[in-house]
Structure 1
Amino acid sequence: MILTGPEIARAVAAGEIHIDDFSPARLEPNSYGFRLAPDILCYEEAELDSYEQPKATQVVMGHNGMVLEPGRFYLGSTMEAMGSPHYAATLYACRSVSTLGMWIQFSAPLGHSGAIFPWTLEISVANALRVYSGMTIGKLSFWSMQGEPHQYVGKYTGSTSAVASRLSEDVGPAPLTTGSAG
């Protein structure tokens, strides 16, 4: 079952849910509104190889924000470290952000129990769009779990901001290439 806003507030007060810089003003009927952190990662290469750690450049937004361009892929993060050892969580964009043509999460919206850190956002835009550090960009919902919880212990544990893909840690050695026989 999804937690209501008042139940999220109760769980935060009881220490069951962790949200840095918790503000009751950002509670919604079934979620908590989170903000965009100032650091954005951009991959440096046009072609990425899943067997290699991608090279990324970090850009820190200033007071005037940053213009995101269509056709580019960005990694941002939430200002808040959020999560819970007692609940699973799912991350969504705010409707107001989505209707500007901005996507913040394509394929990894699930937060396992025990995963407590700033969430990395998968950002793309349909139109050039200026964004600002601290703007409310999405919402996190919390769900009760059935069965004995297992705590997340993975390669993103300890993250403090946006994190580039670590898929290369999961894959085996690079595939062998064969030359043509002479």
Structure 2
Amino acid sequence: MILSGKDIHSRLGKEIKIEPFSESQLNPNSYNLRLHNELLVYNETELDMRKKNEATLISIPEDGLLLETHKLYLGRTIEYTETDGLVPMLEGRSSVGRLGLFVHVTAGFGDVGFCGFWT
């Protein structure tokens, strides 16, 4: 079951924690999380799951960042979230998808009890 915005709001401080929380980000059946201004960029184009892949931390300037092709950017949310007894779900907005950007590749669901920032 997907919670309505009303349900999300009524469960804040109980089964749901969103910090910082803003009423303006609450929608009829979702809550808009925002991208933090820091991104990790891998130093190598070939990534190996068997080793630590070195990355560089960059900041998105106030006037924006031009993304380069064939480069993986790992971002996180500004908001810290927690759920108790609920499975959180992350989906991209259609406006972002129309720009050819992926909000997530394979990690759209959090575990029951997930606590942290979404990456």
Gaps of 5+ in 1: 121-182
How far the C-alpha of 1:44 sits from its partner, in A, is 0.5
Matched, 1:109 2:108: yes
How far the C-alpha of 1:70 sits from its partner, in A, is 2.3
- CA displacement, residues 124-152 of structure 1 (integer Å, 9 cap, x when unaligned): xxxxxxxxxxxxxxxxxxxxxxxxxxxxx
State the partner residue of 2:4.
Answer: 4
- CA displacement, residues 65-89 of structure 1 (integer Å, 9 cap, x when unaligned): 2111222111001110113022111
State the partner residue of 2:60.
Answer: 61
Structure with bigger strand share is: 1
Partner-residue secondary structure (3-state), 2:39: strand
Inter-partner Cα distance in structure 2 for 1:83 and 1:95:
25
- CA displacement, residues 79-105 of structure 1 (integer Å, 9 cap, x when unaligned): 101130221111011111111111111
Q: Is the 8 A contact 1:17 1:86 kept in 2?
A: no
Q: Is the 8 A contact 2:39 2:57 kept in 1?
A: yes
Q: Which structure has the greater CA radius of gyration?
A: 1
Give the residue type in structure 1 aligned to 2:54: K
Q: Is the 8 A contact 1:42 1:58 kept in 2?
A: yes
Inter-partner Cα distance in structure 2 for 1:60 and 1:21:
20
Inter-partner Cα distance in structure 2 for 1:37 and 1:89:
19
State the partner residue of 1:20.
Answer: 19
- CA displacement, residues 6-53 of structure 1 (integer Å, 9 cap, x when unaligned): 0000011x4210100111111112110011101101110122221101
Give the residue type in structure 1 aligned to 2:3: L
The runs of at least 4 consecutive aligned structure 1 residues that moved more than 2 Å come to none
How far the C-alpha of 1:62 sits from its partner, in A, is 2.1
Gaps of 5+ in 2: none
Partner-residue secondary structure (3-state), 1:39: strand
How far the C-alpha of 1:3 sits from its partner, in A, is 0.6
Matched ranges for 1:146-165 at <5 A: none
Q: How many residues of Structure 1 are paired with residues of Structure 2 in the alignment? A: 119
Inter-partner Cα distance in structure 2 for 1:38 and 1:104:
15
